Amino acid sequence: MTKVEAIIQVSKLDAVKNALPEIGVEGMTVFEARGHGRQKGHTEFYRGREYTVDLIPKVKLEMVLADDMVEKAVQAIIASARTGKIGDGKIFLSRTDDAIRIRNEERGNTAL
Amino acid sequence: MRKSLTVCLLVAMVSLFPHCAAQTSSTNTYPSGAKAVSDAQSERIAKLEQAVADAKSSGDNAWMLTSSALVLMMTGPGLALFYGGLVRKKNVLSTMLQSFALMAIVTLLWGLVEYSLAFGSGNSFIGGLHNVFLRGVGAQPDHDYAATIPLQTYMIYQLMFAIITPALISGAFAERMKFSAMVLFMILWSLIVYAPMAHMVWGKGGFLNAALGGRFPTLDFAGGTVVHVTSGVSALVCALYIGRRLGYPKQNMTPHSVVLSFIGACLLWVGWFGFNAGSALSAGSLATSAFVATHFGAASAALGWSAAEWLRNGKPSALGAISGAVAGLVAITPAAGFVSPMSAIVIGLLAGVGCYFMVAKVKMRFGYDDSLDAFGVHGAGGTLGALLTGVFASSTVNPIFKDAQGNTLASGLLEGNAHQLLNQLAGVAIAWGLAIVGTLAILKIVDLTIGLRVKEDDEIQGLDFSQHGEEGYNWEAPE
């Protein structure tokens, strides 16, 4: 079982959200997030005063997948979220020990 | 009213002694047409005259009550939203409440004593105590102030100015002053700075009153010196005395909602028609002229500020456009009612560019934290407007100065009355002086008694919670 965390451009959320069910991903959790990597911030002007906005709005998707799904999901995210410019985001993968469905206490891959 | 009473008495006498009237009319030297006026006709004429006066009075009163409501709308919600949007999220309510609190506090203060100090008969500098508790302020007009509306209408209209003026200052000490200190400061400021300044410029026998024989007749149609210079300069004194907000200027203090400020500024623009056109104190052509000048001034200042910003930053911003409009409205305030629409455009343009320069360059240069630019917009815009009024005032628009024979004299510098610029300068200098000295003294008093600033922890936590125990945006409220 692997947790997939993808931080993507806000404008690419729809494309990614539509691409994942097509390869069989059944659920995801989406967060509105702020942050920066190499892209750094941008500047805004208020009454002539310059402010640097370091943390740029992003969207973070989280899903836990059976291991055989992971690579397909990663490719689907890359294909639908890429613009080729700086600021496209990152994907993190990490091991997850178990999953439990609260309704009926199913465990493991059947709970996903 | 007294005049119409006399007319009625005369009519009654004439109808009681018809032979006397006939005798008089046979011996006078009027042209034959006048002789033919019968008793019934003269009675009808008297009634008609009364009806005409009543109609004018009710028309003027309708406009002045509407204007009063418009000017109140400038403070709440206008200024409250304008300022509320410019502060950080954690201070939105405390900032808005400062404006609202003044709507209540100044109202009571005005009724008890401040009206009398501003508009009661007194000396050249301050009114007396004849009108405390609004004694003698009723349905009868005061012919020196406004002959066609009840004095009570005049009183309530002037009250709305006394509310918004201190509310403007609150922009300078936003996000760091104790609520209790703000209340005491504003009460003292209303009595020590506002009342004398209003009396000098608008009160009977006032030192600077252009309409009622002041020594230095300063043209100030709707309060460029009384409202904007006094509040703006006091704001600067407050910002310097109280000091910067924690973290200023390093920390990011961007406005939390330009949307709120936007709505507030648009309400200010609309309300300003009551402020300026209402200052004609009647619903005639002078009100129209002030209305038009106000609108043109605001529009050209919005464009002026935006253009300056566009050239310097590469983009015109929404906050810039609305700030420019407010700056233009400030600058046209003393001039409306004295200048033509084209002069208003020039005044607005200079104010838009000038105030942008004040907040974007001068404030940065000197490093004071006039948090919401009360000085940069009201102090600078008011001073500029008051001086430019002396340049552009036109006797065609408003023949305010007359010689002993009743001939109209030149008004402003462009008409050849260079002396007026000196009078304007005197008015501005007195407003600056009174604001600086009065505000410093009041700040000292409040500082020594209850203290001006909130504690450091309270400032970090935000004034909404630390001063009022609530939040503007309650994300955890139950659904």
The predicted-structure confidence for B233-249, as pLDDT tens digits, reads as follows 999 999 999 999 999 98
* pLDDT tens digits for range A17-58: 999 999 999 899 999 999 888 777 788 889 888 888 888 889
10 Å Cβ neighbour count for B44? 13
Which chain A residues touch B252 with a CB distance below 8 Å? 51-53
Tokens of A30: 């989406």
Averaged pLDDT score across all residues of chain B: 92
Q: How far is B349 from chain A (nearest CA, A)?
A: 17
Which chain B residues touch A47 with a CB distance below 8 Å? 319-320, 323, 356, 359-360, 373
Interchain proximity B312–A44, CB inside 8 Å = no
Chain B interface includes A46 (CB < 8 A) = yes
Report which of B346, B186, B326, B254 is spatially closest to residue A55, judged by C-alpha positions.
Answer: B254
Q: How far is B366 from chain A (nearest CA, A)?
A: 14
Arithmetic mean of pLDDT, B443-458:
97
- For residue B351, what are the contacts with CB-CB under 8 A and spacing of at least 6? B297, B301, B304, B327, B328, B330, B331, B332, B381, B384, B385
* pLDDT tens digits for range B378-391: 999 999 999 999 99
Q: CA-to-CA distance for B146 and B143, rounded, in angstroms?
A: 5
Name the residue in chain B with its Cα closest to that of A48. Answer: B360
Arithmetic mean of pLDDT, B189-218:
91
Structure-model confidence comparison of residues B295 and B33, the more confident one: B295
10 Å Cβ neighbour count for B293? 30
Q: CA-to-CA distance for A108 and B30, rounded, in angstroms?
A: 117
Which chain A residues touch B364 with a CB distance below 8 Å? 48-49
Report which of B202, B205, B203 is spatially closest to residue B219, judged by C-alpha positions.
Answer: B202
- Which amino acid is residue B266, in one-letter code? C
Tokens of B427: 């008015």
Residue B253 Cα to chain centre, angstroms: 30
Indicate if the pLDDT at residue B475 is higher than 90. no
What 8-state DSSP symbol labels residue B280? Answer: G
Torsion of the alpha carbons at B232, B233, B238 and B239, rounded to the nearest 10: 70
Interchain proximity B360–A47, CB inside 8 Å = yes
Residue B189 Cα to chain centre, angstroms: 16
* pLDDT tens digits for range B48-63: 999 999 999 999 999 9
Interchain proximity B323–A47, CB inside 8 Å = yes
Of A65-69, B10-14, B112-116, which gets the smallest average pLDDT? B10-14
Is the whole model's pTM more than 0.90, yes or no? no
DSSP secondary structure string for all residues of B209-255: BTTTT-SS-B--SS-IIIIIIHHHHHHHHHHHHH-PPTTTTTS----
Q: How far is B367 from chain A (nearest CA, A)?
A: 12
Q: CA-to-CA distance for A62 and A92, rounded, in angstroms?
A: 10
Chain A interface includes B408 (CB < 8 A) = no
The confidence score (pLDDT) of residue B420 equals 94
Interchain proximity B254–A48, CB inside 8 Å = no
Architecture of domain A2-111: 2-Layer Sandwich (3.30)
* Consecutive H or E run containing B446: helix B419-449
Interchain proximity A45–B255, CB inside 8 Å = no
Query: Which residues face A52 on adjacent strands?
Result: A43
Tokens of B465: 């919670």
Is residue B390 classed exposed, middle or buried when 0-12, 13-18 and 19+ CB atoms within 10 A define those classes? buried
Tokens of A94: 């990490």
SS3 B424: helix
Per-residue pLDDT band for B10 (boundaries 50, 70, 90) equals: very low
Tokens of A22: 């097509």
Of A94-103, B35-44, B238-247, which gets the smallest average pLDDT? B35-44
Q: How far is A5 from chain B (nearest CA, A)?
A: 26
Which chain B residues touch A41 with a CB distance below 8 Å? none
Q: How far is B71 from chain A (nearest CA, A)?
A: 26
Report which of B58, B57, B59, B22 is spatially closest to residue B39, judged by C-alpha positions.
Answer: B22
Name the residue in chain B with its Cα closest to that of A51. Answer: B252
Identify the residue among A44, A47, A50, A51 best suited for mutation to test binding to B, counting B beta carbons within 10 A and taking the highest. A47
Arithmetic mean of pLDDT, B370-377:
95
Q: CA-to-CA distance for A2 and A67, rounded, in angstroms?
A: 6
Interchain proximity B317–A46, CB inside 8 Å = yes
Interchain proximity B361–A48, CB inside 8 Å = yes
E strand segments, A2-98: 2-8, 29-35, 42-46, 49-53, 56-65, 89-95
**Residues B458, B467 contacting (CB under 8 angstroms):** yes
Name the residue in chain B with its Cα closest to that of A53. Answer: B252
The confidence score (pLDDT) of residue B84 equals 98
10 Å Cβ neighbour count for A38? 6
Q: Among B312, B319, B356, whose Cβ lies nearest the Cβ of A46?
A: B319
Which class would CATH give B64-109+150-468? Answer: mainly alpha
Q: How far is B313 from chain A (nearest CA, A)?
A: 8
Residue A97 Cα to chain centre, angstroms: 20
Is residue B365 classed exposed, middle or buried when 0-12, 13-18 and 19+ CB atoms within 10 A define those classes? exposed
CA atoms within 13 A on the CB side of B294: 29
The confidence score (pLDDT) of residue B34 equals 55
DSSP secondary structure string for all residues of B49-108: HHHHHHHHHHHHHHHHHHHHHHHHHIIIIIIHHHHHHHS-GGGHHHHHHHHHHHHHHHHH
Name the residue in chain A with its Cα closest to that of B305. Answer: A47
Structure-model confidence comparison of residues B7 and A98, the more confident one: A98
Phi-psi region of B367 (alpha: psi -120 to 50; beta: other; left: phi over 0): left
Indicate if the pLDDT at residue B27 is higher than 80. no
Q: CA-to-CA distance for B45 and B357, rounded, in angstroms?
A: 61
The confidence score (pLDDT) of residue B216 equals 87
Identify the residue among B319, B326, B362, B365 best suited for mutation to test binding to A, counting A beta carbons within 10 A and taking the highest. B319
Q: How far is B245 from chain A (nearest CA, A)?
A: 16
Tokens of B474: 């309650």
**Residues B454, B466 contacting (CB under 8 angstroms):** yes
Interchain proximity A47–B364, CB inside 8 Å = no
ipTM comes to: 0.74
**Residues B419, B408 contacting (CB under 8 angstroms):** no
- For residue B364, what are the contacts with CB-CB under 8 A and spacing of at least 6? A48, A49
Q: CA-to-CA distance for B153 and B364, rounded, in angstroms?
A: 44
Chain B interface includes A43 (CB < 8 A) = no
Query: What residues does each domain of chain A span?
Result: 2-111
**Residues B371, B245 contacting (CB under 8 angstroms):** yes
Query: What residues does each domain of chain B span?
Result: 64-109+150-468
Report which of B389, B458, B467, B456 is spatially closest to residue B421, judged by C-alpha positions.
Answer: B389
Chain B interface includes A47 (CB < 8 A) = yes
- Which amino acid is residue A40, in one-letter code? K
**Residues B119, B106 contacting (CB under 8 angstroms):** no
What residue has token string 């890429």? A82
Tokens of B10: 């005369």
Indicate if the pLDDT at residue B72 is higher than 90. yes
Which chain A residues touch B360 with a CB distance below 8 Å? 47-49
Per-residue pLDDT band for B30 (boundaries 50, 70, 90) equals: low
Q: CA-to-CA distance for B423 and B410, rounded, in angstroms?
A: 14
**Residues B384, B377 contacting (CB under 8 angstroms):** no
Question: Could you tell me what percent of chain B has a pLDDT over 70?
Answer: 92
